[in-house]
Amino acid sequence: MKLETAKRWLILFYEKIQDNVAVLAELDSTMGGDGDHGENMLRGMTAVVNAVEPKEFASTVDLFTETGMLLLTKVGGVSGTLYGSAFLGMARAEQIDGSLYNDIKEGLVMIQRRGRAEIGDKTMVDVWAPVVEDLKNHQLTPERIDEYILKTALLRAKKGRHAYAADGSLGLVDPGSYSSGLLFKALLEAEEKDYV
């Protein structure tokens, strides 16, 4: 991925998190969480943007590595671990290949390694996995991302605090899936500007 595109992606993701803090908080609390997913993600992405926006990076590898480390240390909770690990995975993929598909695929590998979640467990994996397939087939659109987010409402949570709810939070959208949707919509917007 081009360095300027990657930086633009992070800034757009930050803006989307900022616009959706209340939504993420409500989704988290409704599912039995602490209601802090929005604030945690905003704190992490604020730290990322403040650090990376003014800085000149030698490569996208360096940008993703710094992003991953900041998310690991600033977000808190499981989200920080998963998002931070995803960006560290993307940094590794950039060293090898640099294709968008392989970056996101390696990000998913790291999320699954850390969170031990599978497709159908009602986690962010349920958005990342189909997005990886769509990137492979050049079919990713905002509408498809929304579809993956909404599908998590049909699942019973098998991981994390939400799994302890009697109904496995059936009927509710997973907050990590929602924030992942914001990440990928920001990605599409960042990529779009390369062709304008």
Spans of all domains in the chain: 3-195
Alpha helices in the chain (DSSP H): 3-19, 21-30, 37-52, 60-74, 77-96, 100-115, 125-136, 142-151, 175-192
Q: Please give the helix or strand (H or E) that residue 137 lies within, else none.
A: none
Report yes or no: 88 and 64 within 8 Å, Cβ to Cβ: yes
142: its two tokens = 């905002």
Instruction: Look at residue 75 in the predicted model and tell me its pLDDT.
Output: 87
Instruction: Mention the CATH class of domain 3-195.
Output: mainly alpha
Packing angle, helices 77-96 and 60-74, rounded to 10: 170
Tell me, rounded to whole angstroms, the distance of Cα 147 from its chain centroid: 16
pLDDT of the chain, 196 residues: tens digit per residue: 999 999 999 999 999 999 999 999 999 888 777 888 999 999 999 999 999 999 999 999 999 999 999 999 998 788 899 999 999 999 999 999 889 999 999 999 999 999 999 999 999 999 999 999 999 999 999 999 999 999 999 998 886 655 555 555 678 899 999 999 999 999 999 998 654 3
- CA 178, distance to chain mean position in Å, is 9
Contacts with 51 (C-beta within 8 Å, 6 or more apart), sequence order: 66, 70
Q: What is the pTM of this model?
A: 0.93
CA dist., res. 90 & res. 29, Å (int): 30
**pLDDT on residue 196:** 38
Structure tokens at 194: 């390369």
CA distances to 8, 11, 28, 44, 178 from 17, rounded to whole Å, are 14, 10, 14, 10, 10
HSE, CB side, 13 Å, CA atoms: give it for residue 84.
20
